[in-house]
Amino acid sequence: MTQIERDPNQDGRSRRKNEAMRAVQSAALRLFSKRGFSEVTVEEIAAEAGVGPATVYRNFGSKERILLWDEYDPVLFRCIGEHLRVARPLDAIRDGFIQALDEIYRRDAARILRRARLIRSTPSVLAAAAADMANLGQGLAELLAPVLHNDFRRRIMAVAVVGALNASIDRWIDEKGKTPLRKILKKAFGELGSLAS
């Protein structure tokens, strides 16, 4: 199983929970890829992962959440926060995304591409993913607050960034992961920057 870089602030219990959730998600991905999302039950996922259904429901709540879950937001926000200390907001977000991708995607690209394909092809999951992206935008807006004091401007920037991320992921899926996501995302940020000029 691939692992992302361990967060030194995360205690052993949290790490074990993340590892268990990854194991359940990996089992679900195998089953979804073979039979399709709608044909697989939570009970079958639990059996494949070697845990009880109650554990799956407690950790995820629904089958959609199993597919959507990841542990990447802390890495992403940490990277963006580091860049916000030294760069303009849009540049800091771009560089933070690229740094996070370098930490996460090189070890986990196949898993993430597999999840992204399943999400895009499953309407019920796609709707929940849109809500997750809105939450990401809200988190970005909050992260920008110390350096960008105008709330309206922060929200516009966050929505634009989430749109660029969505467009980049769509292109990455369409190209079957052949072009690295970091390269597509970098180009998307270039397009965002050119819109302002």
State the amino acid at position 75 in one-letter form: V
Q: Dihedral of the CA atoms 35, 112, 77, 145 (nearest 10)?
A: -70
| 29 occurs within a structural domain | yes
Tokens coding 187: 């180009």
Of 14-18, 45-49, 98-102, minimum mean pLDDT range: 14-18
Q: What is the mean pLDDT of residues 142-148?
A: 95
Residues 120 and 85 in one domain: yes
pLDDT digits (tens, 9 = 90+) for 84-131: 999 999 999 999 999 999 888 878 888 999 999 999 999 989 999 999
pLDDT at 197: 57
Give how many domains the chain has, as a whole number.
2
Provide the domain limits for residue 139: 72-195
Residues 161 and 88 in one domain: yes
| 87 occurs within a structural domain | yes
Average pLDDT of the chain, as a whole number = 90
pLDDT digits (tens, 9 = 90+) for 159-195: 999 999 999 999 999 999 999 999 999 999 999 988 8
pLDDT at 5: 40
Residues 56 and 77 in one domain: no
pLDDT at 108: 87
pLDDT at 10: 58
C-alpha dihedral sign at 137, 24, 47, 115:
positive
pLDDT at 1: 29
Report the CATH number that the domain containing residue 32 is assigned in CATH.
1.10.10.60
Long-range contacts from 92-99, C-beta under 8 angstroms, 24+ separation: 92/147, 93/140, 93/157, 93/161, 93/189, 94/185, 94/186, 94/189, 97/165, 97/182, 97/185, 97/189, 98/182, 98/185, 98/186
| 4 occurs within a structural domain | no
| 2 occurs within a structural domain | no
| 102 occurs within a structural domain | yes
Task: Specify the higher pLDDT residue, 196 or 151.
Answer: 151
**If you compute the radius of gyration of the chain from its CA atoms, what whole number of angstroms results?**
18
Residues 110 and 178 in one domain: yes
Residue 51, pLDDT above cutoff 80: yes
| 5 occurs within a structural domain | no
| 6 occurs within a structural domain | no
Go through the chain and tell me how many residues it has.
197
Non-local CB neighbours of 20 within 8 Å, separated by 6+ positions:
51, 55, 59
Residue 58, pLDDT above cutoff 50: yes
Tokens coding 172: 């990455």
